Amino acid sequence: MEHDWQAFREGLLAWYRPDRRPMPWKENTDPYRIWLSEIILQQTRVEQGWPYFERFVAAYPTVGELAAAPDDAVMKLWEGLGYYSRARNLLRAARTVTAEHDGRFPDTYAGLLALPGIGPYTAAAIASFAFDRQVAVLDGNVFRVLARYAGDATPTTTGPGRKHFQQLAERALGDTPAARFNQAIMDFGALVCTPKLADCAHCPLATSCRALAEEKVYALPLKKRKTAVRTRYFHYLVIKDEQERYLLEQRPAGDIWQSLYQFPLVEAERIDLSLPRLTAHPNWPADLAPDPLRHMRRSGVYRHQLSHQTIGAVFHVLSVGDLTAPAYPPSGMLVVPRAEFERYALPRIITRFLEDTSLTLGF
């Protein structure tokens, strides 16, 4: 059960070159930039998060400026990146740092962990990268590299499993500088010891890798099966008046896309519902009178895959005379000119519809 962590360290650090995986925040110790990048990169590929990082830094160069930003502006900058609770917690944390910590990030693991949106991984990353604290990060890369090197089939998805690998990571870290070690092991997992098609032929740790010796590379790390995805059917009501104004509503807490905006939504049990059946549906907005609405067209079915849900959506385009008349808007809804959509953060399934529609119609 003993493994040569000394050889692991030396091989890893000899392999490491920071410029193998350039990142705008690498070799930089500004806690704000490191924190921002780490939140953006949670469960997100570097290539996908990079432009968001650049836009956030440009819009909000300091944590104080971010703290002063309106909620909707931050959500809009986050639009399309997913896991929107990250954006809400980002703002909460910025305001906490500004109001309660004199604008400076806590410089300890425990202090960082107390901020919203900062969990064990992110606290360790900031503590080591920005403050040179001797803590080992544990992310998807580290799980995979350690499980394979040690030939360790402990499930990584349980509490005890997590603890086990944290100890392994700390043993591997030893007294090497944590910032460099952490970046090295994550780069190594991303570039060499990859989930599929791992580059074992050129691996500097191959001679002491237990998974390779036992031909278990692709059996590790071991994870427990995940739960099934459920299917939901969304009927969006694209209600447009003669002045190109639309109804929008904000999504509530307790469901996907919390605090993003959308067209009024009727969720139903099936996707093939006619408009008359839709207006009679229990989920039809209570104070939205169907009578003045004229059915213009109906989109095809948009399919959207989330991690635990499959969404099927249809957009019903309806016209009405004047959304500024006294009968409007229904409670909880906004009347928004098409030109002002850009101020509202929308889920990807809606921006996809808008992109399609703006090409075919003068939408």
Non-local (6+) Cβ contacts of 256 within 8 A are 306, 309, 347
Task: With CB under 7 A as the rule, give the number of residues binding DNA.
Answer: 62
> Is 139 near DNA (CB under 7 A)?
yes
Among 306, 334, 335, 354, binds DNA (CB under 7 A): 306
> Is 187 near DNA (CB under 7 A)?
yes
Smallest gap from Cβ 82 to DNA, in A, equals 3
Amino acid at 231: T
Non-local (6+) Cβ contacts of 259 within 8 A are 71, 75, 84, 88, 250, 251, 253, 345
- Token reading at 270: 């099936």
> Is 262 near DNA (CB under 7 A)?
no
> Is 45 near DNA (CB under 7 A)?
yes
> Euclidean distance between the first and final Cα of the chain, in Å?
65
Among 136, 169, 190, 318, binds DNA (CB under 7 A): 190
DSSP state of 307: S
Evaluated on CA atoms 309, 303, 292, 247, the torsion sign reads: positive
| Cα separation, 60 vs 103, whole angstroms | 14
| Cα separation, 252 vs 263, whole angstroms | 13
State the number of CA atoms in the 13 A half-sphere of 24 facing the CB. 20
Amino acid at 343: R
Q: Which residues inside 275-294 make contact with DNA, applying CB under 7 A?
A: none
| Cα separation, 318 vs 320, whole angstroms | 7
Q: What is the CA radius of gyration of the chain?
A: 25
Which CB, 6 or 85, lies closer to DNA? 85
Which CB, 221 or 329, lies closer to DNA? 221
> Is 123 near DNA (CB under 7 A)?
yes
Among 117, 151, 204, 285, binds DNA (CB under 7 A): 117
- Token reading at 303: 């399919």
Indicate if 54 belongs to the active site.
no
> Is 26 near DNA (CB under 7 A)?
yes
Smallest gap from Cβ 158 to DNA, in A, equals 5
Which CB, 136 or 190, lies closer to DNA? 190
* Catalytic-labelled residue, pool 2, 10, 27, 38: 38
> Is 84 near DNA (CB under 7 A)?
yes
- Token reading at 49: 């998060």
> Is 197 near DNA (CB under 7 A)?
yes
| Cα separation, 339 vs 363, whole angstroms | 10
> Is 256 near DNA (CB under 7 A)?
yes
Interaxial angle between packed helices 178-191 and 159-173, expressed in degrees from 0 to 180 and rounded to the nearest 10: 120
> Is 17 near DNA (CB under 7 A)?
no
Selected range binding DNA among 3-11, 18-26, 237-245, 323-331, rule: CB under 7 A: 18-26
> Is 7 near DNA (CB under 7 A)?
no
Contact 236, 230 (CB under 8 A): no
Smallest gap from Cβ 324 to DNA, in A, equals 30
> Is 98 near DNA (CB under 7 A)?
no
> Is 249 near DNA (CB under 7 A)?
no
Which residues here bind DNA, judged by CB under 7 A? 21, 23, 26, 37-38, 41-48, 80-85, 89, 116-123, 125, 139-141, 144, 157-160, 183, 186-187, 189-190, 195-197, 223, 225-227, 255-258, 304-309, 347-349
Which residues are catalytically annotated? 38
